Amino acid sequence: MRRMNSKICPVLSAKLQTQSNEELPVIVRVRENDTDNLNSLAHRMEGKVKRSLPLVDAVALNMSMGEIDRLSRDPNIEYISYDSKVFALLDIANPSIGGSFPREIGLTGEGVTVAVIDTGVAPHNDLVRPKNRLVGFKDFVGDKTSPYDDNGHGTHVAGIIASNGYSSNRKYLGVAPNANILAVKALDEAGSGNTSDIVSAIDWVVKNRDNYNTKIINLSLGSPANNSMNSDPLVRAVEAATKAGLTVIVAAGNSGPSAKTILSPGNSPNVITVGAVDDKRTPDTSDDTIASFSSRGPTKEGFRKPDIVAPGVSIMSLSNKSSDGYAASSGTSMATPLVSGSAALLYGKHKYLTPSQVKSLFVNSCTDLKDKYENQGAGIIDLRKLFKDEEKETPRTSPRPRSPRFPISPLPPKKEKKVASSNSFNEFIIVLVLVLLVLAIND
């Protein structure tokens, strides 16, 4: 039996113990910023390399177990992990988080771009009419150039963020109805993809962030946290994106109600990890409970997660089946874009916020659901608290006028009635008494 190798992830280590020599998809990482060794590795493995992953100092390729074992003994190799599968994690929600309040004070996310790394995004009316807010599309699955979604998950997520309600007479509005969507397809028609596909997608978003004014990455997906955080390619990728100034918002997972079920990369300390609430189809949060499927913390390393929760049961949003269709779906996948849309509103008001500031603002503006922290985090997001606090903290010389939802003709100004003050009345009495005294003296 082979000895355990600390440079190889647990999944591959288990395979090695079986003496199997099957070929497996792996991600091989060199030391951080060691570009020469990374290029040398890619050259040595020419013909086997599927993707170069410079964001995490790695390459993705297929190798036999024997090759993996031999390569792990190279002192220039830092870690070899299994290129595991990543899966998509599958009305009233908006009122439950106070979604109308930001719009009442003029915040709609206009000009802010959210990158949705998912199954793609279909060109639904609510995203492309009257103005096309699908500002870009990148396909890591089929290499197509026009936006599409052969699964539906990504379109549903994008609608929760940024639907303008064009086809529903504004009934199904996203949280940030004027925000832009950058659609990145990294999951296939079955809603799955390899870790290397997601890392490549994140890398592409980071490199192109200035071209699209991208502020947020929405990851309604996850994979079992088999590796330690320092060795997990997905965690390393989202950490790099956060360092680059992008706020990364990730689904906690649908593996509840057991403890320590937070998926990767939601186990990263620097992302905003979102659990799901069952809002019971009422806007009142007093009857809300944590959805049974929502993954619970803490992480395997002991970090407190999730960070916050949002509605994630029977959320109505855009369908990929037709350009004016809608569908309901549940999961932490649906809770996550509610937070991403809310972050777009924050960036619409304060464009230079850092990811840590965004996270802090959310955590400090939640409503406590009286559940354990490892179930609910800081609580359910509340945009009324978030933006009312913002209003208090930003003094202005004059109040900002609120834009009405519909055109309203101003009423003519009312004529003010003059009312005598008590001081005027007293002066009148004194004058009257003096007049009477003068008349009496003359008599």
Of 57, 91, 118, 382, the catalytic one is 118
- Residue in this structure with the two tokens 């806007």, named with its chain if needed: 283
pLDDT value at residue 434: 55
The contacts of residue 274 (CB under 8 Å, 6+ apart) are: 249, 250, 251, 252, 266, 306, 307, 308, 309, 310, 332, 335, 336, 338, 339
What are the structure tokens assigned to 367, written together?
């409503």
What is the extent of the structural domain holding 56? 10-83
Of 13, 200, 333, 342, the catalytic one is 333
- Active-site residue 368, yes or no? no
Q: What is the CATH number of the domain that holds 69?
A: 3.30.70.80
pLDDT value at residue 417: 37
pLDDT value at residue 409: 29
**Positions of the chain with pLDDT lower than 70, given as ranges:** 1-4, 19, 47, 89-96, 99, 389-443
- Active-site residue 91, yes or no? no
Residues 191 and 317 in one domain: yes
Q: What is the CATH number of the domain that holds 204?
A: 3.40.50.200
Whether 410 maps to a domain, the answer reads no
0.75 exceeded by pTM: yes
pLDDT value at residue 162: 97
pLDDT value at residue 431: 52
Whether 416 maps to a domain, the answer reads no
CB atoms within 10 A of CB 4: 11
Q: Could you give the CA distance from residue 138 to residue 437 in angstroms, rounded to a whole number?
A: 97
Strand partners, 29: 58, 79
pLDDT value at residue 439: 52
pLDDT value at residue 201: 98
How many residues in the chain?
443
List, for residues 178-195, the tens digit of each pLDDT value: 999 999 999 999 999 999
Residues 28 and 175 in one domain: no
Residues 76 and 191 in one domain: no
pLDDT value at residue 143: 96
Residues 271 and 177 in one domain: yes
Q: Is the dihedral of CA 372, 375, 378, 380 positive or negative?
A: negative
Whether 423 maps to a domain, the answer reads no
Residues 33 and 147 in one domain: no
- Write down which residue in 83, 101, 130 finishes a domain: 83
Contacts 24+ apart (CB under 8 A), 138-141: 138/182, 138/183, 138/184, 138/185, 138/201, 138/204, 139/185, 140/184, 140/185, 140/186, 140/193, 140/197, 140/200, 140/201, 140/204, 141/185, 141/186, 141/187, 141/188, 141/193, 141/197
- Active-site residue 287, yes or no? no
pLDDT value at residue 307: 98
Whether 427 maps to a domain, the answer reads no
Q: Could you give the CA distance from residue 41 to residue 283 in angstroms, rounded to a whole number?
A: 55
Domain count, the chain: 2
Residues 205 and 130 in one domain: yes
Of 153, 220, 264, 307, the catalytic one is 153
- Write down which residue in 83, 99, 117 finishes a domain: 83
List, for residues 272-330, the tens digit of each pLDDT value: 999 999 988 777 778 889 999 999 999 999 999 999 999 999 899 999 999 999 999 99
